[in-house]
Structure 1
């Protein structure tokens, strides 16, 4: 009787899939099959528990909070190293003067935009798709996503390079950069975006590895790369061993070397078959459906990532109208906001992986609980960071400059915006949960509203000829909106059932 019930559950129509899932769990004491309308791949039968590797079983069976923490610790290590690398690069550049710091300031939002789309947006689509495939027991299908990662990174890289070579100089001019600072911006931009394909491929291959629940390999690759990047960046910026330095552009060269070596390391791991995935050595016949499954998530995620960086770029334009010193102060302060993304992804990434695997296995309640636990963790982490820098703003800004005007503007930013960092953390983890559930509408709306608040708020400040720091009130309000407007789907369990 039990066997027949399980058989009927696996062959029932889509409209009755969750009823069958519950019956299967009652009959076997194991998760049922998820057969929801997310694409042909998701309608394949779930594998038996014995077919899962140890990491997938951890995602499906272990206590939620410890599982998130277990994944978050190596993930947070990776993000912390990213933070350290970014800070050291900015520190090295700031030693060259205010012009150098102001010159790289408008390039950072665009580099961050590409990296965030590659890692968290389209890369997030790869992560959740691989995790969901493993949750259904389809290891061979999950393995093919390594090739899809390569296939997607090449055209995206070429388009990025062409777009930035054509539009970069004008964009930096519109963002208030002039004179020597503009020349520095164009030079830095030309070098870093010439290797855009490496940025895409590095993050896509890392996403494939992360989708298996293996976050130790990224720790090894990122930390190993950082040991090369930090001294290389300093040497190329300032010069070493009798060779002249390249100035701010030396940081861009060092970053490309880091991405190149990291890409080779991930490729060696995947095609060396050191993990659960076993991609073929020849290019398989790639089909449209898996590509659309990735891009469907990645496209909407890219809107969130783009609007987040667009918000920072818009505020940069408004602040830049008040002069180079104000722009440098805002660059030093808002740099911490850029770093909030990798910090929050330290939690949000594992949350998305756990949710995806459990949705693939039909464990709906566990997926919902994971989203709530992760959202709470990210809110607390980001809020603690924000309160700390709001109380001690000069300790942060002073890392980059001791210019009184730079210190004043940077401190104003942190004091007005820092207390609301928690809402950014909340919204970001809900965005990662939306990738897993493939319901991104609320996060997209929240991100667009945040950008609109920054645009309208900055316009009002300019129109009223108010102090430039009033722009930061709009930034803080936008963070609150970003967190709260992404919350209703979780409350309503939209995408989980």
Structure 2
């Protein structure tokens, strides 16, 4: 065993004082795989609801006309960016900080962190609100919005981002609960919000004739319902932590503990959106059919990503509590288990689609050229979705360990790889097959480099090397007792 391994594995042995103050629980002491799966299944159900929302919204927005459908496609990346930043990124940072505090047996610190998490959500939500209301319409124009499409998109943007504080607050509360190991309540509330969003959005947009404003208002009302329930649960003292709002003293250290994970993690979804945007722009040169085929494959990638998110998010409190208790070897085992389960599950599901691509393609189109392009892309790229599952699981495990900068930098490498590789292919007049291979290669690169970054990143404290002065060494050799030195 290497010196590095000895240094980390030695931290696994908790001191008697730590063992005394840490209550035994499934998260901190239970079987890793069984506990991980029990935490993951509520997330899978909740995340699957997000896919249902996309399908349902696409259905009733289509009844508003082709301009409304195009407007939703225009504004959708901005909405997804907001939700992933507030949920998977900052929400993961919140869950990590809470879990590490509880793992160290410091419930008081966890409660104070929860209050600071709510303040962060309010600040980030307000920033998104002001920024999008001021610059959002111009951004939509830059993205290509014109005429009636721009009007519909701006209408949605004004309502949704006028209440941008709500998704940030909802995901902060969900992060607090997940940090305590409670996956069921936030997952149930996200599922409930999805159902309400479908019902209210359809009713307000079509039934009351509010159009795109009604779709956005339905989402905000659904978020408000989830906030009400989770807020009541947290403030009533039923959760393992209770946000310490009364007499709260603002602490830079508390903000730093959350933001050192959450703020850095926010760059991950941003780079993912940029990667998709760059790749989509390049494929547009091949015509509508190829672009549509890639879009169909990207929808499958989005669905597989939600599966990986479910396992990854389940690992955050487990890893965080292990790190907080200085049980680094257990934290590592949790990370590898989550990564393996995610890799195998996503890989198996996507490989089936790669072998039988029409099972997925025929859901979205009957156009022969688009079907052929979609099937072509899935045969090449779908098996490589397993590496995205691997990367996502390790990204979340790194959040739990508060060591997220490595996986985020890997996303940067992937972004550069796609941009440089795509430019090279365009210059060489490559076919769409070359671009599909580029997409598949970028997924492998993402998974392998994320794995390497986690393996090379120290999770435990640095080993303490005692300073041995020559006089002390000489005295020890002569057998002089310390009291006589």
Paired residues for 1:84-233 under 5 Å: 84-94=52-62, 99-233=67-201
Number of the residue aligned with 1:32: 15
Shift of 1:173: 4.2
The correspondence for 1:344, drawn from 308, 314, 319, is 308
- Partners of 2:372 and 2:150 in 1: how far apart? 24
The correspondence for 1:315, drawn from 256, 273, 279, is 279
The CA deviation string for residues 451-487 of structure 1, in whole angstroms up to 9 with x for no partner, is 1122223333444454556433322221111100011
Number of the residue aligned with 1:451: 415
Number of the residue aligned with 2:335: 371
The correspondence for 2:209, drawn from 229, 234, 244, is 244
- Aligned length in residues: 456
In the alignment, is the contact (CA less than 8 A) between 1:32 and 1:362 conserved in 2? no
1:48 and 2:20 equivalent?
yes
- Partners of 2:433 and 2:8 in 1: how far apart? 52
Distance 1:352 1:427, change over 3 A: same
Residue 282 of structure 1 aligns to a residue in which SS?
Answer: coil
Number of the residue aligned with 1:38: none
- Partners of 2:452 and 2:102 in 1: how far apart? 29
1:485 and 2:457 equivalent?
no
The CA deviation string for residues 185-243 of structure 1, in whole angstroms up to 9 with x for no partner, is 33333332222111111101110011000111113312222332222222234x23xx3
Distance 1:373 1:257, change over 3 A: same
Larger radius of gyration: 2
In the alignment, is the contact (CA less than 8 A) between 1:175 and 1:313 conserved in 2? no
Distance 1:392 1:174, change over 3 A: farther
The CA deviation string for residues 103-129 of structure 1, in whole angstroms up to 9 with x for no partner, is 322322222122111111111111011
TM-score by length of 2: 0.85
Of 437-446 and 262-271, deviating more is 437-446
5+ long unaligned stretches in structure 1: 1-15, 26-30, 34-44
- Partners of 2:267 and 2:196 in 1: how far apart? 33
- Partners of 1:409 and 1:183 in 2: how far apart? 32
1:293 and 2:257 equivalent?
yes
Number of the residue aligned with 1:427: 391
Distance 1:187 1:472, change over 3 A: farther
In the alignment, is the contact (CA less than 8 A) between 1:340 and 1:382 conserved in 2? yes
In the alignment, is the contact (CA less than 8 A) between 1:75 and 1:346 conserved in 2? yes
In the alignment, is the contact (CA less than 8 A) between 1:32 and 1:361 conserved in 2? no
Residue 363 of structure 2 aligns to a residue in which SS?
Answer: coil
Residue 494 of structure 1 aligns to a residue in which SS?
Answer: coil
In the alignment, is the contact (CA less than 8 A) between 1:119 and 1:204 conserved in 2? yes
- Partners of 1:199 and 1:409 in 2: how far apart? 36
- Partners of 1:341 and 1:492 in 2: how far apart? 25
The CA deviation string for residues 404-435 of structure 1, in whole angstroms up to 9 with x for no partner, is 55444444443332111000010111111221
In the alignment, is the contact (CA less than 8 A) between 1:367 and 1:496 conserved in 2? no
The CA deviation string for residues 16-41 of structure 1, in whole angstroms up to 9 with x for no partner, is 9979856xx4xxxxx338xxxxxxxx
Shift of 1:366: 1.2
Number of the residue aligned with 1:83: 51
Number of the residue aligned with 1:475: 439
Shift of 1:260: 1.6
Of 171-180 and 213-222, deviating more is 171-180
Q: CA RMSD in A?
A: 2.8
- Partners of 2:438 and 2:139 in 1: how far apart? 23
Shift of 1:161: 2.2
Residue 266 of structure 2 aligns to a residue in which SS?
Answer: helix
- Partners of 1:60 and 1:450 in 2: how far apart? 34
Number of the residue aligned with 2:349: 385
In the alignment, is the contact (CA less than 8 A) between 1:356 and 1:436 conserved in 2? yes
Number of the residue aligned with 2:3: none
- Partners of 1:96 and 1:134 in 2: how far apart? 49
- Partners of 1:19 and 1:423 in 2: how far apart? 28
In the alignment, is the contact (CA less than 8 A) between 2:99 and 2:321 conserved in 1? yes
TM-score by length of 1: 0.83
